A and B are shown apart, each in its own frame.
Chain A
Amino acid sequence: MIRKLLVLAAVAAGTTAIAGPALAQNEQFIPLLVYRTGPYAPNGIPFADGVSDYLNLLNERDGGINGVKLTSEECETGYATDKGVECYERLKGNGPTGASYFSPLSTGITFALTEKAPGDKIPLLTLGYGRSESRDGTVFPWNFIAVGSYWTAADIAIQQIAKEMGGFDKLKGKKVSLVYHDSPYGKEPIPALEARAKKDGFEFKAIAVTHPGVEQKSQWLAIRQDRPDYVLLWGWGVMNSTAIKEAAAVGYPRDKMIGVWWSGAEPDVTPAGDQSIGYKALMLQHPPGKFKVHEDLEKYLVSKGKSIAKDDFAQVLYNRGLINSMLGTEAIRTAQTKFGNKPLTGEQIRWGFENLNLTADRIKELGFEGMLKPMKFTCQDHQGADQARIQQWDGKAWKTISEYFTADESILAPMVKEQAAKYAAEKKITPRDCSKES
């Protein structure tokens, strides 16, 4: 009997799978690579919630983008590269025109997809992560490392240290250590920090923490012996709160620690309780908290029970998820001005990204005023902005403690150029000529 039932169930599953293909409609498909399980889930969930909620808001409030409804589907990657590639293959062909853009929220998956996206003609929107040299749109036409790269972050962190010490000349002979997640993600800032160390004369040391980062006793004992003046933290998920706890255990002052913008959210500091007080982190421009767009979210989603966010609403990573979707959908909107108000292909949306110009007025109109500064993407510049602020945890909330810093392009621009040229040579890519593109 059970066997018969099983067979019936299998047959039913098979037939529905065949009868699946959706009818081509006036819909724009946005694939969502998320991780709601595994060691990085505490950080993956709020981001994914923000991403989804903004897309739903556009559907509920405006009926999509200029009448084109947005559809989306989540695929769980668990932060694993091979699973991410499988998800990418699964979702890239969905919807009437295929996937609009991918945002994997993982540097490892971004590296793998960077190899695949050009063949499939799908843009990658990597908001504040990914290959730093992919800022160069002539070599990386499909990558959009929007708002900031890890090199931007590294440079601004050093600027903050210089400000606290009272000038760049005070950096000479000081010690700065980097505690990093031992993966492409954590290693990205090292060249920028080394360049900065050479220029400003401080002593730089990189200390690796193995994935997933729950074991870092020996690293912090080394820091206790070495007594660096500042510690930069490049962690993700559970590694961040562990680092703060270990710093407290060896008595390293938390206000001398500066985390990257992926180490500066609520799930990173709350597990360590009062030990986190004074800990600083970079902001990917935006702070946590409610802004104009949140009023709409509350009106159209939360009050109707349609929001998937729980207590992560308006947290740092939730807000970053909103920005991720906002940039992507604004790129679609920009592309519609050229290609018409209909579902667009990845290639058309790439044009939208390259011509995306977020003015102060437009940001205000969208309800993001106070979260972002104006930014503009071009064929050449796929980053759009290179500014960030610093925030500090006071035990209850993140407080913005600095003005905007701008990364020192005299150091970073040649590095981007050099690494992009190296990549182009290795992959035999001829950089495109932006002056010839419309």
Chain B
Amino acid sequence: MLYREAGQFKSTYAADMAIFPIRQDRMALWLLLAVAFLGVPLLAHFRIWPLGSDYFLRAILIPFLILSLATVGLNILMGYCGQISLGSGAFMAIGAYSTYKFATGVHLPLAWFGTAISIDPLPVLPSILLGGVMSAVVGILFGIPSLRIKGLYLAVATLAAQFFFDWVFIRVKWFTNYTPSGSVAAPEITIFGYVFHTPIERYLLCLAFVAVFAVISKNLVRGNLGRQWMAIRDMDIAAELMGIRPLYAKLTAFAISSFIVGIAGALFAFVYLGAWEPLAFNIDRSFQLLFMVIIGGLGSILGSFLGAAFILILPILLDQGPHALGIPVTVETVSLMVLVVTGALICYLLVVEPLGFARLWSVAKEKLRLWPYPY
């Protein structure tokens, strides 16, 4: 009833090709954006439930946004271009450490050439973007093998990136500015002289990044480039015969994906953790992102958000459930139970809907559009 497009006529090609051709979808999106950009900060400002304390903002929404962004990045590579990557944790780390280096000043003595590269500390915003660029450059380098190797073999090659960069950031002291412990602390986040200090400001910063990159990604995958990626994903030989260059298509996917993942890494380190060590971006992080993409739905931007929400928030909810309900169980029982229940739910979901939450959503949408007269 409410969700029907009857009477919505499109009179221009632009309207016909809009990202959200149905009016209700557009309204829902604007409503969501309004809630995210205005509603959440207002609730948090006036301390109204569920944002009565910083907890919801700082421990759930901020990491959710950042990991969603990383999932969007990985989804471009895995979901749209079909290149399996197990190295996303490494690309997050590259983003984080490069941003740290740019924000605290780069000094690289090149003794062989008798010169040195010196860059003064940059403001945080350009540092984050440059961190993304560095991650993209490394992404292209590690994407080159994808021209020859495919599928599971490529996954192993990207796994090498993961271990290599774990090693680099532990061993090469230059990246950590020679701190004795190898743990680095992010400098203050200042953009155009404005210090992002309160949780609300930090939340808005993350939200802005996520919104911008989600829009860019959504448009990219609908355009020429996205179609090339999908052609490569669906059948690379056929795509090549149709005149799509695998080199260009695959490497752009690697570059853009790593760029977004790198920015997510920088935000995770700077905004969420504040101080970090390479362990924060180890293989577990790569798997976490991989699960988010698969559970959310390969090849769906919306799915990235749903997957991130499921994998990140469900364990936290389960962890707090027994306590909130007043059931007396020890923390060890709860944390083991969380593992069992999350694992079981993932299996269940993949059996019932192997294509992830994105598919569930599109089925629901189809049904809603026909309701109450299904055929």
Contact = CB atoms under 8 A, between A and B. Distances in A.
Interface stretch (A63-71, A183-191, A333-341): A183-191
Interface residues of A, number: 48
A90 B59 CA distance: 8
* Main DSSP-derived SS at the A contact region: helix
B109 interface: no
Contact of A76 (B275, B325, B332): B332
A426 B185 contact: yes
A185 B279 CA distance: 12
A426 B179 CA distance: 11
A75 B55 contact: no
Given A13-B321, A76-B334, A191 B180 contact: yes
A289 interface: no
Contacts, number: 110
Given A37-B335, A78-B335, A183 B279 contact: yes
Interface string B302-323: 0000000000000010011101
Nearest to A133: B180
B335 A82 contact: no
A374 to B, nearest CB: 30
B324 interface: yes
A131 B181 CA distance: 8
Nearest to B274: A115
Contacts of A211: 279
Nearest to A182: B170
A169 interface: no
Given A191-B180, A419-B180, A115 B325 contact: no
Interface residues of B, number: 41
Contacts of B325: 12-13, 16
A428 B326 CA distance: 45
Contact of B280 (A36, A82, A185, A188): A82
B56 to A, nearest CB: 9
Contacts of B357: none
A426 B187 contact: yes
Given A188-B180, A426-B104, A427-B188, A85 B273 contact: yes
Given A74-B331, A112-B274, A187-B181, A89 B54 contact: yes
B331 A108 contact: no
Nearest to A88: B59
B58 interface: yes
B49 interface: yes
B183 A111 contact: yes
Contacts of B59: 85-86, 89-90
Interface string A12-38: 110011101000000000000010110
Contacts of A427: 185, 187-188
B180 A81 contact: no
A131 B185 CA distance: 12
A64 B49 CA distance: 32
A182 B55 CA distance: 31
A82 B63 contact: yes
B181 A112 contact: no
B245 interface: no
A81 B276 contact: yes
Interface in B259-295: 272-277, 279-280
Interface string B180-212: 111101111000000001000000000000000
B115 interface: no
A348 B64 CA distance: 34
A107 interface: yes
Contacts of A428: 187-188
Contact of A82 (B104, B273, B323): B273
B336 interface: yes
Given A37-B332, A81-B279, A85-B273, A187 B320 contact: no
A305 interface: no
A423 interface: yes
Given A20-B324, A182-B170, A426-B187, A112 B273 contact: yes
Nearest to B166: A210
Given A16-B324, A82-B273, 7 more contacts: A34-B331, A37-B332, A89-B58, A89-B59, A111-B181, A115-B273, A426-B187
Interface of B: 49, 53-55, 58-59, 63, 104, 170, 177, 180-183, 185-188, 197, 272-277, 279-280, 316, 319-321, 323-326, 330-332, 334-336
